[in-house]
């Protein structure tokens, strides 16, 4: 079994530079949620030079729309959504200090170049493991855009959130380079 790398948010360039495509990672700290509609709102605010609902510097965005929590739970299922829908938004967010994203599936060459230029990282979480992932979320707070329902922006506190480095800051890509997950 390969080594698991434990990291905490906010992410620094030094931490990101140690990560390589295929690394098995556990994330602890604060992670923000955002999907398509929230990304559109964030990019509109950036283009207008208006303050965002949270500071992007060093942060991670998880592409997820958590389901409602059952009694006694922090959240319901919280599995990753397809990341390619955020391809058009990710480079701009990275240019304003975002350090990474978590989702499923490959992101495009524009994102790859932005990860290299701004020292960022893209993690993939296992689709179909939404209930398991939800157990890693210890706190969930609505932050912005409640009108979007589960696609609103939430501030999550996570502990040992399981994922893999899918695309690193050097251009490494588990989808393109046939890098094996290091399990």
Q: What is the 3-state secondary structure (H, E, C) of 32-93?
A: EECCHHHHHHHHHHHHCCCCCCCCCCCCEEECECCCCCCCCCCCCCCCECEHHHHCCCHHHH
C-alpha 148, offset from chain centre: 19
Q: Looking at 9, 15, 39, 156, which residue is catalytic?
A: 39
| Total residue length of the chain | 183
| Residue 121, beta-bridge partner list | 100
Between CA 64 and CA 74 the distance in angstroms is: 15
135 is catalytic: no
Residues classed as catalytic: 39
């Amino acid at each position: 079994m390969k080594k698991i790398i434990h990291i905490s948010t906010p992410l620094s360039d030094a931490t990101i530079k140690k990560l390589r495509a295929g690394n098995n990672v556990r994330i602890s700290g604060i992670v923000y949620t955002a999907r398509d509609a929230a990304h559109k709102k964030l990019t509109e605010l950036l283009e207008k030079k208006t303050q965002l609902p949270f500071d992007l510097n060093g942060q991670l965005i998880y592409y997820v729309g958590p389901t409602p929590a059952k009694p006694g739970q922090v959240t319901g299922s919280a599995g990753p959504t397809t990341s390619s829908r955020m391809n058009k938004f990710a480079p701009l967010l990275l240019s304003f200090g975002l350090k990474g994203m978590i989702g499923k599936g490959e992101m495009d060459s524009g994102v790859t170049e932005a990860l290299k230029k701004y020292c960022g990282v893209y993690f993939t979480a296992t689709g179909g493991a939404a209930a398991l992932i939800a157990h890693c979320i210890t706190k969930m707070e609505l932050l912005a855009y409640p009108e979007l329902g589960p696609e609103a922006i939430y501030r999550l506190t996570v502990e040992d959130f399981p994922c893999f480095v899918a695309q690193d800051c050097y251009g490494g890509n588990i989808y393109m380079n046939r890098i094996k997950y290091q399990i």
